[in-house]
Amino acid sequence: MNPSDPIAALEIGTSRTAIAIAEPLPGGRIKIATLSSIPSSGVRKSQIVDVGQARYSLESVLKHLADQSDYSIKQAYLAVSGPQIRATPTIEQCPVAGGVVRDEEIAELESRFCEAPLPADRYPIEYSPICYKLDDVDNIASPRGMSGRLLSLRALSIHGSAQRIADARTAAHNANLAIADVDFAGICAATAVLVQQDKRDGALVIDLGGGSTSYTAWADGQLAQAGVIGVGGDHVTNDVRVAFAVSQSQAEQLKTSAASAMIAAEDATIRVPVPNPMPGFKAPTVSRRALNTVVNARLQELFTIIRIKLDEAGLLHRLNSGVVLTGGGSAMPGIVDLASTVFGNRVRIGTFVPEIEGLPDDTPPASYAVLAGLLLRAYRQVTPEPSIFDFIRNLFRSNSK
């Protein structure tokens, strides 16, 4: 791919199927030239469950893209999420010959990681080195020339279900769209909203999707933990549906138009009409306090699960840049206050890093963080700034082709 060519990014989510195209700019920046999205079909919990319906959604969004712009694309980078994604901590070690770390020891560790096989049903997505350790000295960025006896390298291996990713490729192929590469949605979202200083200081990015929620925790400039929780906006909607015996569409409208993630004292006196009552019948109402209690319970549970995972990994106290929320769920009123209460930290809605330009003023950046981050990561693949960790990543990614 030519570094000056437009780049396309694709997200096949539970709620929407979306495509964005970016034009490269000088100085390592990109400009989002156009984006298109439609409601998804055949997707549940961020995974395709009906290839035919998913193909129809892709064909529709591609047609919409062609109708509203001059772009006609044949390949795109794909962001994936859902419970299929796993992040496996990995440690490799090798003795230091001669007592001083040389390129040979570093290369030995790199080759061990790249050659370590995954089970046949797993697809390698991202290899993310965390840091080196030399004897009892941890969190070393580059050990070359240091004295010691045993060199270790800690990393995260992020991988997905080979079958689920094959389904996405098949749906895209049937819609005459080739998949150039696959990336983890959680890392893409973080790329869009975190500057390098945030990653050095420590930050948590939570991408609240329709069918699942991905998260990435960063410390000392590197990815320290990642994961996906199989809970998203659709689960909140279903809780509302069950609690108030309304239809799925009524529950969704109640959630988006009247609900908050926080429970306020004045909610007890407010009644909210149920949308679209049966013809000839007076619209029933529900208590706003009851509605917000249902929403709060599910979202508090979700945030608490992530908090516990970070606490167990010793990362909770290292989030000096706070928590950043992205995804469609970040638009929920009260979501920042709830997250701040659960994590005991500063929380903000994600905005794009300076390298990303061009999103329309009426489009919330947090909702398109995955696509924007994927575009920037794809551009950096074409015009990389080489480093030792990039070399390892490229070898790892080449093994997934």
Q: What is the DSSP string of 41-56?
A: SSEETTEES-HHHHHH
Which residues have CB under 8 Å from 56's CB, separation 6+? 41, 42
pLDDT of residue 241: 96
Q: Give the Å distances, CA to CA, from 27 to 2, 9, 162.
A: 16, 21, 36
Q: Give the Å distances, CA to CA, from 286 to 245, 260, 265, 268.
A: 11, 14, 16, 11
Q: Considering just the CA atoms, what is the radius of gyration of the chain in Å?
A: 22
Q: How far apart are CA 325 and CA 322, in angstroms?
A: 10
pLDDT one-digit tens code per residue, 184-203: 999 999 999 999 999 999 99
pLDDT of residue 297: 97
Sheet with 178-184, side-by-side order of all strands: 178-184, 75-80, 7-12, 16-25, 29-39, 356-357
pLDDT of residue 104: 87
Amino acid identity of residue 44, one-letter, is R
pLDDT of residue 400: 54
- CA dihedral over 91, 95, 97, 101, signed as positive or negative: positive
pLDDT of residue 391: 53
Q: How far apart are CA 24 and CA 7, in angstroms?
A: 8
Secondary structure element (H or E) that encloses residue 86, with its range: strand 86-95
Secondary structure element (H or E) that encloses residue 342, with its range: helix 335-343
Tokens of 223: 């990815």
Low-confidence ranges of the chain (pLDDT < 50): 388
- The answer to whether residues 227 and 87 touch, using CB atoms and an 8 Å cutoff, is yes
Q: Residue 4: what are its φ and ψ, rounded to 5°? A: -90, -5
pLDDT of residue 392: 52
The 3-state DSSP class for residue 244 equals helix
Secondary structure element (H or E) that encloses residue 42, with its range: none
pLDDT of residue 282: 79
pLDDT one-digit tens code per residue, 272-306: 999 887 676 778 899 999 999 999 999 999 999 99
Q: How far apart are CA 244 and CA 231, in angstroms?
A: 20
The 3-state DSSP class for residue 217 equals strand
Q: How far apart are CA 123 and CA 181, in angstroms?
A: 12
